[in-house]
Amino acid sequence: MDSGLENIVAAETVLSDVDGQAGRLIIRGWPVETLAADKPYAAVLGLLWDGFFPELGDDAEIQAQLGRARAAAFALVGTFPMESGVVEALRTGWSLLNDSEAFDDAIAFPAAAAVFTAAAVRHGQGLPLIAPDPALSQAQDLLRMMRGTPASDAEARALDAYLATVSDHGLNASTFAARVIASTRAGLGSAVLGGISALKGPLHGGAPGPVLDMVDDIGTPDAAERWIDAALARGERLMGFGHRVYRVRDPRADALKAAVSKLPGTAGRIAFAEHIETVVLQRLARKYPNRRLETNVEFYTAVLLEALDIPREAFTAIFATGRVLGWIAHASEQIGEKRIVRPKSVYRGPVPEYA
């Protein structure tokens, strides 16, 4: 019995490899650092979906298809509720899309992620919604639709770096959920909905908003030690730290730190975050001398998305906008396995008397 499935290998994949001892992440042959540095969203989609959809064109064609699909998704905005939160609105909006295994239906999900996330943010802020511009890249248009002003090249590059960094990560909880659902042949849309439902929990993709709450609550560098000691004494988990697989620093943390440091005006916030990180790591090493807990992807996610003026309530939906590329690739790979995923359980309940 292995309730967290940590020692179970449940899939062979060509998509990504997480080396938790060396602190390396390979996505389709590329180190994550390379993807973060120079692959825009359409290129990452092309990389991850290659081999699963014969219709897949070059990066320019994918970008154009994403643009057209964003315009189509915008027609659905207003037909579903957006009150209960941004990630919930994205999940609800996605549930209206076609649930098949076809490419045209699949590409609607990443495209709609940008539209529904931006719309839910503006709806929550009481601001008028902004229609997509199909001529823009996914990152440029997402920022423009959400904030109401065009994104600078540096901002679009930083968002692309984030989306590429989180696009895939082995058999994480949401990707596993997506693969289980795809194995039943329910459709790629169902797999995506399962993925986002698993992602939104605070132990997975729900962490970066609370990271920023922690940073804000600490407030000043000299308050860090007291704040962190008190949180640990209360038995709380510090968001943005620890990982099931990594026993060293999550390589995505530095990829994101590099991306945010290219944005003007971020040096002070990065220095403050680094200070908090140093104190947390010191305290966690003291509390758990036999279990190395390190910085994970979510810590600098929070710093980067904040620098892009993305409100914290949208962080998990933005994560889903990146990770949906991996969910659809994994779901497609699982469909190729032609076998339903069906593990066993050990019964510990009462046993009836049989005659």
Active site residues: 243, 298
* Pick from 23, 11, 16: nearest CA to 323: 16
Among 226, 247, 286, 291, binds ligand ACO (CB under 6 A): 291
Beta bridge partners of 241: 295
The site for ligand ACO, by CB under 6 A, has a size of 18
Q: Is 57 helix (H, G, I), strand (E, B) or coil?
A: coil
Nearest approach in angstroms of CB 294 to ligand ACO is 9
Scan residues 217-246 and list those touching ligand ACO (CB under 6 A): 237-244
CA distance 99 to 106: 8
CA distance 219 to 276: 10
- Name the β-bridge partners of 169: 171
How far, in Å, CA of 102 to CA of 337, rounded?
Answer: 17
| Nearer Cβ to ligand ACO (5/288) | 288
- Which positions from 296 through 335 interact with ligand ACO, judged by CB under 6 A? 296-298
| Beta partners for residue 18, in sequence order | 25
* 292 contributes a contact to ligand ACO by CB under 6 A: no
**Least separation in angstroms between CB 291 and ligand ACO:** 5
Min dist CB 3 to ligand ACO, Å, is 10
Interaction mask 180-209, ligand ACO, x per CB under 6 A: -----------------------xxx-x--
Task: Measure the CA–CA gap between 115 and 63, rounded to whole angstroms.
Answer: 15
Residue 53 or 319 having the CB closest to ligand ACO: 319
340 — alpha (psi -120 to 50), left (phi > 0) or beta? beta
For 182, the token pair is 């795809």
The stretch near ligand ACO (CB under 6 A) out of 50-58, 90-98, 260-268, 295-303 is 295-303
Cβ pair 116, 93 in contact under 8 A: yes
Number of residue whose CB is nearest ligand ACO: 242
Q: Show the tokens assigned to 27.
A: 């996505």
Residue with Cβ nearer ligand ACO (112 or 297): 297
Query: Which chain residues interact with ligand ACO by CB under 6 A?
Result: 203-205, 207, 237-244, 288, 291, 293, 296-298
